[in-house]
Amino acid sequence: MAGSPSISRRLLFARIGTYVALACAVLLVLFPIYWMVITSLKLPREIYRVPSLWPQTITWNNYRILLEDKGFLVALRNSLLVAGSVTFISVVISSLAAYSLARFRYRFRGFVGRLILFAYLTPTTLLFIPLSILMARLGLGNSLHGLILVYLTFSLPLSTWLLQGYFRGVPKELEEQGMIDGLTRFGALFRIVIPLSAPGIAAVAIFTFTGAWNELLLALVLITSESQRTTPLALNYLITSDVLPWGPLMAGAVISSLPLMILYFVAQRFMVQGMTAGSVKG
Amino acid sequence: MTQPRTASPKPRFSAATQDQLFAYGLVLPVVLLLLGLVAYPFFYAIWVSFTNRVVGNDGVFIGLGNFRYLAGSPAFFSAIRNTIVLVVVSDILKLAIGLGLALLVTQKIAGRGLFRSMLMLPWAMPAFVAYLTWRVLYQPIGGGINLVLTQTGIYPEIVDWLGQRQTAMPSVIVAAVWRGFPFWFVSILAALQTIPGELYEAARIDGANAWQRFRAVTWPGIRQVVIITTLLSSIWTANSFEHVWLLTQGGPSDATMVFPVLAYFGMQTQRLGEAAAVSVAMLPVLAILVIFATAMMTSREEQD
Amino acid sequence: MTAHFAWTRRHILKTSVAGAAAALTAGRATSSLAAPALVKGSKLTYWGGLIFSDKANKLLVDTINKWGADNGIQTEVVMINQNETVQKVSAAVASNTLPDALDLSLDLLMLLSRQGVFHTVDEIFDSLGKAQGGWFPAIASASDTSKVAGGRTGIPYGVSGNLLLRRNDLLSKAGFKNPPTTWEELSQQAAAINKPPLYGLGLALSNVGDGNVQVGVLQSYGGRIADDTGTKAAIKSEATREYLKWVKAAWDKKLFPPGNTTWDGAGDNNAYLAGQAAFIANTGSVGIAAKSQDPELYQATLYSSLPGGPKGVVSATNTNLRAIPKSSKNPDAARALLEFLGSPEFMNAYYEQAIYGPVLQGQSKLKAFTSGDPILSGLLDLVVKGTAPAYPDVYNTAFADAYNNFVVPKMVQRVVIDNWDFDRAMDEAQTVTQSIYDKYK
C-alpha cells in the first residue's frame, strides 16, 4: 500500500471503474434471466394485458401446471439419463483417443485430428435426415439409446480436442517414472494422467453435459413417444399450434436452466482451468 | 504453467510398434463413431444435394439443378450477405465484450468468483429458451426492453425492434452476442491465466503504460486463443438457426435471412434436395475456415 | 345470452369428457365394418395431431386406447405437435418408421400420396359418407387423391380455416354493429377505432402461415399466383396492384400493430390477447385461450367469416385427414380404427372440444354445431361457404411450394418495409414464382 497519494487515488478510481463496469455487465446479462423468472410467476392475464417490470401478484400456478401434467418430470429424468450417459461415455472414450493423440506419433494422426475438427463443424441441419435413417436401420429410432449415440457426434470431437490439450500438459516424465515402477500404459493413463487432468476432465464433462441437456433439433426428429421426451422437447411441446403459453413455458425454462446454472456456479473454477489447458495448449 | 518438453524417442523398435498399435487402439472408438455418425451422413447429404429428392421419393441425379435454382433466387444473395454480417459483427462484439470482461475479472477484486459465474449464465440456458425470452423482451408493446426505455424515460417512443429493417439485424446480433459471449469470456479468461505474472512485472519496470503492456504482454499471450475462438465461433454462428428462426424467421422482408433458415424453408416444402443444396452451398466457406483452423493448430503443435 | 349458454354447457362437458370416451366405445363395439379381421394382441401405433385444446387431445388418446382395449389390440397413441409434423413425417418416411395410422394435413397427404406412401381407403370413405348424409362436396373434391394415388388415401375429419375475430365492445361503441363484409370496409372500421396501443388490423404480414391469409385477400381482389394451366406465374397484374394499394394504405394509416411483419404463428394471438388488436384472422384458438385466461375479452369477441374483395370472398379451408401408410404392419386394425373414429358419437364429443369444422353433411346436425357456440357455428359456416385450397388458383405442388415460400407476404414486405414501388415488388414476386413453377415442369 506504499506509494504517493495520487497513485493510490488512481488505483481507487480504477477499482471503482471496474466495479461499475462489471455491475453494468452483470445487469445486462441477468436482465433476460430476470424477465424469464418473473414471467413464470405471473398470471396469464397479467402477462398479456398489463405488462410490468415486476409481477403484481405472484402465482406458482405455472409451475403447478407444468409439474402436474405434461410428463415434465419424466422429461427431466430422461434428460438427466441422456446427458449423464453421453457425458460418461464421451469422457471415457475421448480420454483414450486424446491420450493417443497427445502421446504418440503415428501415420494417421493428422487425419484423425482433421476428422475430429470436421465432425465438429458439420451443420446439424445437414445431418438430421441421414441420421434418422441410420438410427432407424440400427433399430434405435425413438429411443434414448439412439439419442445418446447421436449426441456423441457433437460431444466426442470437442471432448477429444480439449482433453488432448490437457493431457499434453501432464509431464511425460511422471508417466515414465510410473511405468518404471511397474505400471502398464493403461495404468499410467488411469493412475497418473487422468487424476492430474481432473480440472480439465471436469470442464469437458460440464460442456458435454450442457450440450446434451440443451439439444433440441435432433431430439425433435428422433424422439416420438411422450415417455422418451427430453426436457427441451417437452418444453417445445408446450407450444401447440399458434398459442404460446408464456407462463408454463418460462416456468419450464427456469426449471430446466436451474441445474446447469447451479453447476456453473459451483464449477466455475474448473471450467476456466479446463479451458486453459484445452484451448491454449491444444 | 510451463510447457513440458517431449522426451526424445528411444530406439526400441518392437516397443515402438507396440506403442503404435496401442495408439491406434485407443483412437479407434472415436474414429469409428465419427466415421459412422458424421462422415457417412455428411457424404450422403452431399449426394442428396445433387438430386431432386423430395420426401417419400429418392429422386434422380439432376446435377447442379438445385444450385442453379438457388443462385436465381433473391433470398440466396440476402442470405450470403446477412450470414456474413451476422458472423463478422457478432464475432467482433463477442471478442470486445469477452476480452473486456475477462480483463476486468482477472484483477484481484472482491467477488471475483461470483462475477465470473454470473457472466457465464447465458450459456447455461437452452438456446431455444434463451431466444424465446429475447423475443418477449423485444415485443413492441409490453416487451421488457421498451418498458425499461419508456418507464425510465431514456427513450419515450415505442420501438418495433424486430419489425424494422434498420433494427432487425442489430437486434438478432444483440441476442446472439448475449448468448454467445460467455464462451469467449471463458476462453480468454483461461488464456489470461497462463500469462506469467513476471512478464507484467518486467513490463512495468520498463515503464510501459497499460496500453503498452496490453500490446506487449497480454495480446501475444491470448492471440492464438482469440484466433481459434474466432474460427469456432464463426462456424457455430453460421451454422445455427435458432436465433434468427425464433426471432424473425428471416424477416422483415429479407433483412435477417441467413443460410440455415433458408435450408429450413426448403425442409418445410419437403424438398430435401434443395434444402441439402443450401447447406452444401455454405460448405466451401466453412471448409476454408476449417482448413485455416487445422493449419493453425498443427503449426502450434510443431512449435510445441 | 348465447355466449353465456355455451359457457355453462362447456362447463358441464368438461367433467364428462372421460365418461364420454368410455360410453362411445361401448356403444360402437359391435357395429364396426372391419371387425372380423382384427388380430387379438396385435399392436397399433397412431400419430394424432396435437392441437391447442388439451381436452380434445386427451379425448382422442383415451378413445383410441379404449377402442384398443375393447378389441384386444395394443394401442400406442403419440400426439405429434403440428408445428413439427413436416419434419417428423419427413424423417419417418425416409427412415421407414411411419406409424400404422396418422393425422395429417391435406398438403402433406397430397404430396406423400403422389409418392405412393399410403393405402387407399375408399371403402371407409364411402361407408362413412353413406351413413352420415354424404360428405360436403367441397371437401370430397379437395381431398380426392384418385388421380395421383389410384384411390382416396385420406379420411377427412376436420376443417380448419380463418374466422374474423372482432372486438365488439369497441366496435359497437363506434357504431359498427355488423361485421365488415369487404376488406375496404374492414380498413374503415379498423381506422375508426385505431388508437395505439390498440391497433385496428391485427393481420400478420410475416413469413409464417398467418401471413398467407394475404394470398386469399390478393385472390379476392382478382389477383392470382399462376394462370389457369397452373404452370405460369401470374402475380403481376392490375388486380394485384389494387390489392397492394389496399395494404399500403392501411400500413400508411398505421392500422397494423408494430411487429406484424415478423410475427411468428402466435403473433396475432398475442396481440389480440394483449388487447392490442381490434380485428384478427384466426382459426379460433384465440377464442379458446381467451375463454380460460380472460373471460372478459372472450365476452367482448364476435366471430364472422373473412371479408371479401371485388371478386367475392376467398377463404381457403384446410382439411385434416387420417391416413394409413403402406408400411403399416397392422392395416386391418388401422382401417377398423379409422372407421370407428368417424362415428358421430365420437366426432360430436371431439368437435365440442376441438376447433374444427365438420366434414360430413350429417355432422352439421350434431349438438356441437347446433348449440350456438360462436366459434363452432363460425366454422360450420366456413365449411359451407369457404373455398377449396388455392381457389381460384390451381392447387398443385408448385402452388404449395410458392405458398410455403411466402411469395405474397414477401411481396407485401417489399412494399411496406423496403418501400419498393408496386411494379418492382410485383416483378420480383413474378420472377420468384415463375422459377418455383419451372421446377415442376
> What was the ipTM of the complex prediction?
0.82
Helix (H) or strand (E) holding C319: strand C318-323
Domains of chain C, CATH where assigned: 2-160+317-385 (3.40.190.10), 163-315+405-438 (3.40.190.10)
Residue A244 in grid coordinates: 404460446
Cα Rg, chain A, nearest whole Å: 24
pLDDT at residue C16 tops 60 = no
Whether residue C87 and residue B74 make contact (CB cut-off 8 A), yes or no, is no
pLDDT of residue C166: 95
Whether residue C257 and residue B141 make contact (CB cut-off 8 A), yes or no, is yes
Kindly tell me the sign of the dihedral angle through the C-alpha atoms of B267, B268, B273, B277. negative
Considering only residues 212 to 241 of chain A, which have any Cβ-Cβ distance to chain C shorter than 8 Å? Answer: 220-222, 224-226, 236-237, 239-241
Sheet holding C163-167, edge to edge: C199-201, C277-282, C163-167, C301-305
C432 vs B56, B73, B135: nearest CB: B73
Q: Is B55 on the interface with C (CB under 8 A)?
A: yes
Whether residue B251 and residue C206 make contact (CB cut-off 8 A), yes or no, is yes
The whole model's pTM is what? 0.85
pLDDT of residue B270: 76
Which of C76, C33, C1, C88 lies closest to C330, judged by CA?
C76
- Residues above pLDDT 70, as percent of chain C: 92
Which of A43, A44, A67, A69 lies closest to A57, judged by CA?
A43
Q: CB neighbours of C370 closer than 8 A, spacing ≥ 6?
A: C364
Find the mean pLDDT for residues C136-161. 92
Task: Please report which confidence band the pLDDT of residue C324 belongs to, taking 50, 70 and 90 as the band edges.
Answer: very high
**CATH 1.10.12.10: does it fit domain A64-281?**
no
B69 vs C207, C404, C435: nearest CB: C435
Alpha helices for C362-421 (secondary structure H): 367-370, 374-385, 397-404, 407-416
Find the mean pLDDT for residues A201-218. 87
Question: CA of C94, closest CA in chain A: separation in Å?
Answer: 6
Q: CB neighbours of C437 closer than 8 A, spacing ≥ 6?
A: C226, C230, C231, C232, C233, C398, C402
Q: Is A233 on the interface with B (CB under 8 A)?
A: no
Residue C158 in grid coordinates: 376436420
Q: What is d(CA B54, CA C94) in angstroms, rounded to the nearest whole number?
A: 10
Q: What is d(CA A147, CA A144) in angstroms, rounded to the nearest whole number?
A: 5
Q: What is d(CA A125, CA B180) in angstroms, rounded to the nearest whole number?
A: 20
pLDDT at residue A267 tops 90 = no
Q: In angstroms, what CA-CA distances link A173 with A106, A177, B304?
A: 20, 6, 16
> Residue C80 pairs with which residues in a beta bridge?
C49
B94 versus B142: the higher-pLDDT residue is B94
Find the mean pLDDT for residues B210-216. 88
The amino acid at C19: G
The amino acid at B141: I
pLDDT of residue A190: 82
Q: What is d(CA A106, CA B31) in angstroms, rounded to the nearest whole number?
A: 15
Mean of all residue pLDDT scores within chain C = 87
Find the mean pLDDT for residues C405-434. 95
CB < 8 Å to A171, chain B:
4
HSE-CB at A72 with a 13 A cutoff on CA atoms is: 21
Helix (H) or strand (E) holding C59: helix C54-71
Whether residue B269 and residue C401 make contact (CB cut-off 8 A), yes or no, is yes
Whether residue A279 and residue B294 make contact (CB cut-off 8 A), yes or no, is no
CB < 8 Å to A48, chain C:
270, 273-275, 293-294
Q: Is A128 on the interface with C (CB under 8 A)?
A: yes
pLDDT at residue C7 tops 50 = no
Least confident of B15-29, C106-120, C194-208, C417-431: B15-29
Q: Which chains touch A (3 or more CB pairs under 8 A)?
A: B, C
Whether residue B56 and residue C93 make contact (CB cut-off 8 A), yes or no, is yes
Grid-cell match 452444401, residue found? B280
Whether residue B186 and residue A123 make contact (CB cut-off 8 A), yes or no, is no
Q: Is B270 on the interface with C (CB under 8 A)?
A: yes
pLDDT at residue A281 tops 50 = no
Q: Count of A–B CB contacts within 8 Å?
A: 274
Grid-cell match 454480417, residue found? B85
pLDDT at residue C411 tops 80 = yes
Task: Please report which confidence band the pLDDT of residue B13 belongs to, taking 50, 70 and 90 as the band edges.
Answer: low
CA-nearest residue to B266 within chain A is A125
Which of C363, C339, C368, C360 lies closest to C29, judged by CA?
C339
Task: Please report which confidence band the pLDDT of residue A274 belongs to, taking 50, 70 and 90 as the band edges.
Answer: low
Least confident of A117-131, A138-152, C391-405: A117-131
Whether residue A243 and residue C88 make contact (CB cut-off 8 A), yes or no, is no
Whether residue C432 and residue B55 make contact (CB cut-off 8 A), yes or no, is no
Whether residue A241 and residue C87 make contact (CB cut-off 8 A), yes or no, is no
Kindly tell me the sign of the dihedral angle through the C-alpha atoms of A24, A30, A35, A41. negative
pLDDT of residue C216: 95
HSE-CB at C123 with a 13 A cutoff on CA atoms is: 7
Q: Is A139 on the interface with B (CB under 8 A)?
A: no
Using DSSP's 3-state secondary structure scheme, residue C105 falls into: strand
pLDDT of residue C21: 47
pLDDT of residue C23: 46
Opening angle at CA B30, ends A202 and A192, nearest 5: 45
Q: What is d(CA B189, CA A269) in angstroms, rounded to the nearest whole number?
A: 11
Q: CB neighbours of C303 closer than 8 A, spacing ≥ 6?
A: C163, C164, C165, C166, C284, C287, C374, C375, C377, C378
CB < 8 Å to A133, chain C:
91, 94-95
Find the mean pLDDT for residues A66-87. 89
B268 vs C86, C262, C428: nearest CB: C86
Mean of all residue pLDDT scores within chain B = 84
In this structure, are residues C386 and C312 in contact, taking their beta carbons and an 8 Å threshold? no
What are the tens digits of pLDDT across the range C209-223? 889 999 999 999 999
Return the exposure string of A15-26: e unless at least 16 CB atoms fall within 10 Å of the residue's CB, then b: eeebeeebeebb
Q: What does DSSP say about strands C318-323 and C163-167: parallel, antiparallel, or unpaired?
A: unpaired
Which of C309, C189, C205 lies closest to C257, judged by CA?
C205
Backbone phi, then psi, for A70, in 5-degree steps? 65, 5
In this structure, are residues B21 and A184 in contact, taking their beta carbons and an 8 Å threshold? no
A225: alpha, beta or left? (left if phi > 0; alpha if psi -120 to 50): beta
Q: CB neighbours of B155 closer than 8 A, spacing ≥ 6?
A: B149
Find the mean pLDDT for residues C11-34. 43
Which of C124, C167, C157 lies closest to C333, judged by CA?
C124
Q: Which of the residue ranges A167-171, B234-238, B290-294, C26-30 has the most confident prediction, judged by mean pLDDT?
A: B234-238
Find the mean pLDDT for residues B12-39. 82
Which of A13, A142, A15 lies closest to C45, judged by CA?
A142
C59 versus B156: the higher-pLDDT residue is C59
Return the exposure string of C43-66: e unless at least 16 CB atoms fall within 10 Å of the residue's CB, then b: ebbbbbbbbbbebbbbbbbbbbbb
CB < 8 Å to B304, chain A:
168, 281
pLDDT at residue B8 tops 70 = no
- Residues above pLDDT 90, as percent of chain C: 63
Quick count: other Cβ atoms within 10 Å of Cβ B302?
7
Find the mean pLDDT for residues C166-170. 94
C interface with B, Cβ–Cβ < 8 A, is 86-87, 89-90, 93-94, 108, 111-112, 114-117, 197, 206-208, 257-262, 264, 270, 274, 276, 400-401, 404-405, 410, 413-414, 417-418, 428, 432, 435, 439
Mean of all residue pLDDT scores within chain A = 83
CB < 8 Å to C432, chain B:
73-74
CB < 8 Å to B54, chain C:
111, 115
CA-nearest residue to A136 within chain C is C95
Q: Is B156 on the interface with C (CB under 8 A)?
A: no
Q: What is d(CA C123, CA C127) in angstroms, rounded to the nearest whole number?
A: 6
Q: What does DSSP say about strands C43-50 and C74-81: parallel, antiparallel, or unpaired?
A: parallel
Q: What does DSSP say about strands C154-160 and C43-50: parallel, antiparallel, or unpaired?
A: unpaired
Whether residue A115 and residue B4 make contact (CB cut-off 8 A), yes or no, is no
Using DSSP's 3-state secondary structure scheme, residue B71 falls into: helix
What are the tens digits of pLDDT across the range B167-198? 999 999 999 999 999 989 988 888 888 788 88
pLDDT of residue B176: 95
Find the mean pLDDT for residues C186-205. 94
Task: Please report which confidence band the pLDDT of residue A275 belongs to, taking 50, 70 and 90 as the band edges.
Answer: low
Q: What is the DSSP string of A167-203?
A: HHTS-HHHHHHHHHTT--HHHHIIIIIHHHTHHHHHH
Say whether the peptide bond before residue B252 is cis (omega within 30 degrees of 0): yes
* Residue of A268, A269, A270 for testing the chain B interface, max B β-carbons within 10 Å: A268
> Residue B262 pairs with which residues in a beta bridge?
none
pLDDT of residue B298: 58
Considering only residues 39 to 68 of chain A, which have any Cβ-Cβ distance to chain C shorter than 8 Å? Answer: 44-45, 48-49, 51
Domains of chain B, CATH where assigned: 74-261+282-303 (1.10.3720.10)
Opening angle at CA C25, ends C81 and C129, nearest 5: 75
Q: Is B264 on the interface with C (CB under 8 A)?
A: no
B252 vs C115, C262, C404: nearest CB: C262
CB < 8 Å to B255, chain C:
417
pLDDT at residue C10 tops 60 = no
Find the mean pLDDT for residues B30-46. 87
Q: What is d(CA C66, CA C72) in angstroms, rounded to the nearest whole number?
A: 10
Task: Please report which confidence band the pLDDT of residue C325 belongs to, taking 50, 70 and 90 as the band edges.
Answer: very high
What are the tens digits of pLDDT across the range C272-301? 988 899 999 988 888 888 888 888 999 999
